[in-house]
Structure 1
Amino acid sequence: MVVLDPFVHTFTPAEYATMDPGHFIIDFFAWTVFLAISLRARRFWPLCVVSLQTIALVGHLAKLMDVSIHPLAYMIMQVASSYPLLVTLAIGTYFHQQRLKVNGTDPSWRN
């Protein structure tokens, strides 16, 4: 996402007046990866990450279906969920590292 975002901005300005297909593709790909990870993980926090990424996808779909949505509302739906997503990822990683220190091992995936 970090690598592709600047590339998308070279072709489409961040104006939020119309649905942004470049960011939709990036967000859909990220959602798919997060969903696949969450279905195999032994933790619940990856599901929270998928839920937050879903907000961005719903923002794109809402803008696609109703162009009259105010650009600020579209921007908030597209961008605002990324901040709690990063916090959730950081907290989950922190607790994983704590379990590794205490237990020496911490199986992350289901068989």
Structure 2
Amino acid sequence: METIEHHTEIFSALFLAATLYAALRGGAPERLALLVFWLGSLTSVALVSPLGKRWAHVEYGLLASDLAMLCAFAALTYHARRHWPLWMTSMQAIEVLCHVPILLAPDVNRPAYMSLQALWAYPMVVLLIIGVRRHRLRLKRTGRDVSWRRSSARS
């Protein structure tokens, strides 16, 4: 349990740093990604199984939350004029795919399932920090940073 608590403390500190940085210094895509992270985190906590039953089977609530986040990041990738959302979407897709082994083979190693679910959150939060930093550099270099792609269709 000590390892899990340590992992939670490290992630919480990183997540708080990313939250503050993206909220205060990020552009619209970075803030939207932050909102997706927060909503995903809150729904994951709300929908995960009770402690005694957690990770004993597919965490369907967590899978639903992960799928919703994947859709949100895919929409962000499509509309944002940034490269990092594509990487974010890819990492979220891998996180969704981490549910598949337990669906196919219920006897799969439970700690591995739990660890894989936690693993991808770290690089995704770091990627958000990098995205904010690159946004700030573009603003410094050119004085502006266009956030969204424009539709070529005429209305």
Instruction: Please classify the TM superposition score into its range, dividing by the shorter chain length.
Output: 0.7 to 0.9
- Pick one of 37, 44, 60 that aligns with 1:21: 60
Give the alignment of 1:92-107 within 5 angstroms: 92-107=131-146
Q: Residue 6 of structure 2 aligns with which residue?
A: none
Compute the RMSD of aligned alpha carbons.
1.6
Q: Structure 2 unaligned runs (5+)?
A: 1-39, 151-155
- Pick one of 42, 63, 86 that aligns with 2:102: 63
Give 1:56 shift: 1.3
Check conservation: 1:56, 1:77, Cα contact below 8 A.
yes
Q: Structure 1 unaligned runs (5+)?
A: none
Q: What are the Cα deviations for residues 27-72 of structure 1, in whole angstroms up to 9, with x where unaligned?
A: 1000100011112222221111111111210011221122121012
Identity of aligned residues (%): 32
Give 1:76 shift: 2.0
Matched, 1:36 2:75: yes
Matched, 1:5 2:29: no
Check conservation: 1:55, 1:77, Cα contact below 8 A.
no
How many residues are aligned here? Answer: 110
